[in-house]
Structure 1
Amino acid sequence: MQRMKFPKRYLIVILTFFCTNVCYVERMGFSIAYTVAADSIGINQSSKGMILSTFYYGYVLSQIPGGWAAQSLGGRRILLLSFLLWSSTCALVPLDPNRINILVVARLLVGIAQGFIFPSIHTVLAQWVPPHERSRSVSLTTSGMYLGAAAGMLLLPGLVKHQGPQSVFLVEAALGISWSILWFKFASDPPHSDHLKPTGLPLTKSKDKGSLLNPAKVPWKKMIFSMPVWAIVVNNFTFHYALYVLMNWLPTYFELGLQLSLQEMGSSKMLPYLNMFLFSNIGGVIADRLITRRILSVAWTRKFLNTIGFLISALALLILPLFKTSAGTVLCSSVSLGFLALGRAGFAVNHLDIAPRHAGIVMGVSNTAGTLAGIIGVGLTGRILEIAKATDVDLSSPKSWKPVFFVPGYLCIFSSLIFLIFSGGERILE
């Protein structure tokens, strides 16, 4: 009966899946609620881009500190604290586009709090998950982001329509507090005996380092000059540039570019994110099978999935503005985001391959690049559209939207080549 007991590491992975799920309900929810509130009073696209990108300024500040804090204080504790902070902010701050200062401060706080989440998750998974389960565990956890975005796109426009934009904030806060209670009750650090097993975080027994409270010294110099680390960083930047541009601006593209109402699109608007959920888990299963059956090495498994995912995603982005119907746009965005998620079985899991002991730190570094992509991409898109309007190009014209989708498309091609050439699969940071 003891052997049949549900392994604790499975529960940890499931909880981290719901963690990312709730985070992306919040991010999608703010984009939807703020867009409605801002459009109702005539806020221009550049100003909308500024507010939408403010989250990422806070997010980028806490990535590397988040990795350090998770490694030093424990990812379990940092996850709980971050959830409590952003949930409280959502519950207490009113959504008023005219009160720009309050909105900016609130989005900065939410960004800072959520910046601790993914480095903490990688620290927790490195402690709990054995190497042969890494790909599907990380893929399942991160697929929660996409299911959260899909749920947000499906349910929140109707909530905004019937209950108003502020109701989205209250729902998000309730979800965050509910997850915090579950995590507090059921999560724990792994037993000391588990650290001595091949769980992905091999700790030594020395007195000065190797425990959760006294982690090994971070090899910053070696990390900075490591090409496999930079391959991850570049691909994290590109992944999030494409993701954040589509996540924040697809609602505007549907409304202005295609003259469609989100409320009238039904369930089709959630398909890109649902596709990400499916392809993320497919990628994780394929990766683990390729590795455990020794069909490909760890390094070539990562390279293969990353290359296929990013190149097909690039192709879909380049042809997306050619379609003038909702069906074509949904198809292209679904293919693009789906194969980007497949690529996460390459670069995203690679953190744990090359630096299992410092997975949270490396994740913090690469996610800093990913967050900068959000700041640059979301803000730049707003400026591109304002320039198009200034030159008398109608935002319903594909011409005005081509640069929006071409930039991430070309970045995907470039990044896939970088990862193919420079990535590795062996542990390089001890």
Structure 2
Amino acid sequence: MKLPVRYLIVILTFICTSVCYIERVGFSIGYTVAADNVGVNQSSKGTILSTFYYGYACSQVPGGWAAQRIGGRRVLLLSFLLWSLTCALLPLDPNRVILLVVARLLVGVAQGFIFPSIHTVLAQWVPPHERSRSVSLTTSGMYLGAALGMLLLPTLVKFRGPQSVFLAEAALGASWSLLWFKYAIDPKSTASGVGELVLPINKKMDSHNKKVLSAKIPWVKILTSFPVWAIVVNNFTFHYALYVLMNWLPTYFELGLKLSLQDMGSSKMLPYLNMFLFSNIGGVVADYLITRRILSVTKTRKFLNTVGFLVASLALVVIPSFRTSGGAVLCSSVALGFLALGRAGFAVNHMDVAPRYAGIVMGVSNTAGTLAGIVGVDLTGKLLEAAKAANSDLSSPESWRTGREFLIEVALSISSLKRCCYSGDLIFITSPCYIILA
């Protein structure tokens, strides 16, 4: 069967995000085991785990710029080769702190180019009436990768040791790079005019690919745009919850509930599998509502963001109350699943409001999301270390309620709601996810 090129591109970007998140979850699992074996405290673990996000934050905007100037296809390949090579050469020794910090910074910088490049590529290939499900499928690869990592990598660590995780990740990265090099091509023209009868668009957005790459980037308009800042607020809120759970959920199972990841079977992958399912459901629902003209683009984004983030916030609050594996998995699955549903609201808006500069806008908003990872992951480690000192260990629910870590997510949601409500209608062009009080 001859597959349209744009479908192949979407499938490859889906695999790309899957491999990236296998790497991120893999480092968390491998490093946690290695660090616990030598008695590294929780605060130090949080610092190492958050180091990745410093490099990741620094390269988001440069990644969007490079994708705009050089081309997302080329930048994506180079970034993948860089982080894969770093994983292949890095020895996982918790006592070699400086080496770990440098390596994680380098991996973060390399992966920071990936999502701006992906958005640049998808904006060129995917027509407007397919954007929600295409972006949702691509980003759902993150969650499937995290699910597969949680399912398979603990067993790999058990039998082959933590270092084997890095070698497996490097092999996956190299394999994807070969596929991308062989099959990915640049489009002859952007897809902004395709599907115009289904979803009316601005005629000014039609342009040949060469013109898009050489166009002057309107930095001032991007950085002073209310719609862009609405995306930024959403991105920060989403990734604060995601990165805290992704990096500390293994510790919660191991130390908070006294459960071995190896003995939990397939249940430990359910939160991320739920994200994979809900992300694609959100994309299909969004495109259906828009193409059938049931809701406008703006109202569709509002609806999905509102439902997703509010349900996720409630689920995050009650996670420490569950003292069994089933309850914790169920609660984290609901939280992450509805977060992914909400992503069908704000994540697609990069291409809604700026199809020619989707990579740049993605770089700006993902910088905010990465800052959430830096703050949230490191802060959680410090809160847990303080809780351990106060409660002797981390097995009691009080240790995980200290500082009300998950309530921070709710506070961010309410703050975002007020910001959107009082910023005027212009901000609703993108993803005003919290409009219930409006």
Q: What is the Cα deviation at residue 92 of structure 1? A: 0.7
Counterpart for residue 18 of structure 1: 15
Aligned AA (1:211): K
| Equivalent runs, 1:35-114 vs 2, <5 Å | 35-114=32-111
Counterpart for residue 249 of structure 2: 250
Does residue 231 in structure 1 map to residue 235 in structure 2?
Answer: no
Counterpart for residue 436 of structure 2: none
Aligned AA (1:173): A
Does residue 406 in structure 1 map to residue 410 in structure 2?
Answer: no
* CA offsets 1:276-320 (integer angstroms, 9 cap, x no match): 000000000000011011111101100110010000000001111
On the 8 A contact 1:303/1:420 being kept in 2, the answer is no
On the 8 A contact 1:235/1:416 being kept in 2, the answer is no
Q: Distance in 1 between matches of 2:100 and 2:420?
A: 38
The counterpart of 1:192, out of the listed 189, 194, 197, is 189
Q: CA separation of 1:222/1:198 partners in 2, compared to 1, >3 Å: closer, same or farther?
A: farther
Q: CA separation of 1:185/1:416 partners in 2, compared to 1, >3 Å: closer, same or farther?
A: farther
% of aligned pairs identical? Answer: 74
Counterpart for residue 424 of structure 1: 428
Q: Distance in 1 between matches of 2:232 and 2:34?
A: 35
Q: What is the Cα deviation at residue 192 of structure 1? A: 3.4
Q: What is the Cα deviation at residue 388 of structure 1? A: 1.1
Q: What is the Cα deviation at residue 407 of structure 1? A: 1.6
| Equivalent runs, 1:270-419 vs 2, <5 Å | 270-392=269-391, 394-402=393-401, 403-416=404-417, 418=419
Q: Distance in 1 between matches of 2:281 and 2:11?
A: 17
* CA offsets 1:46-87 (integer angstroms, 9 cap, x no match): 000000000001000100000000011000000000000000
Aligned AA (1:64): V
CA RMSD, Structure 1 to Structure 2 (Å): 1.9
Aligned AA (2:83): W
* CA offsets 1:91-123 (integer angstroms, 9 cap, x no match): 011100011111111000100000000000000
Q: Distance in 2 between matches of 1:345 and 1:419?
A: 18
SS at match of 1:294: coil
The counterpart of 1:202, out of the listed 190, 201, 205, is 205
Counterpart for residue 116 of structure 1: 113
Q: Distance in 1 between matches of 2:157 and 2:376?
A: 26
SS at match of 1:424: helix
Counterpart for residue 240 of structure 2: 241
* CA offsets 1:315-369 (integer angstroms, 9 cap, x no match): 0011111111111110010000000000011011111111111100000000000
Counterpart for residue 211 of structure 2: 211
SS at match of 1:365: helix
The counterpart of 1:166, out of the listed 163, 166, 170, is 163
SS at match of 2:406: helix
Q: CA separation of 1:417/1:156 partners in 2, compared to 1, >3 Å: closer, same or farther?
A: farther
Does residue 132 in structure 1 map to residue 125 in structure 2?
Answer: no
Aligned AA (1:279): F
Q: What is the Cα deviation at residue 414 of structure 1? A: 3.4
On the 8 A contact 1:303/1:419 being kept in 2, the answer is no
* CA offsets 1:368-399 (integer angstroms, 9 cap, x no match): 00000000000000000111122235311212
Q: Distance in 1 between matches of 2:222 and 2:228?
A: 7
**TM-score normalised according to structure 1 size:** 0.94
On the 8 A contact 1:354/1:424 being kept in 2, the answer is no
Q: Distance in 1 between matches of 2:158 and 2:309?
A: 36
Q: What is the Cα deviation at residue 421 of structure 1? A: 6.4
Q: Distance in 2 between matches of 1:193 and 1:400?
A: 52
Gaps of 5+ in 2: 432-438
Q: Distance in 2 between matches of 1:303 and 1:420?
A: 12
Q: CA separation of 1:316/1:426 partners in 2, compared to 1, >3 Å: closer, same or farther?
A: closer
Q: What is the Cα deviation at residue 24 of structure 1? A: 0.1
How many residues align? The count is 420
Aligned AA (1:231): A
Q: What is the Cα deviation at residue 225 of structure 1? A: 1.8
Counterpart for residue 267 of structure 1: 266
SS at match of 1:96: coil
On the 8 A contact 2:123/2:191 being kept in 1, the answer is no
On the 8 A contact 1:203/1:211 being kept in 2, the answer is no
Aligned AA (1:412): S
Q: Distance in 1 between matches of 2:10 and 2:297?
A: 22
**TM-score normalised according to structure 2 size:** 0.92
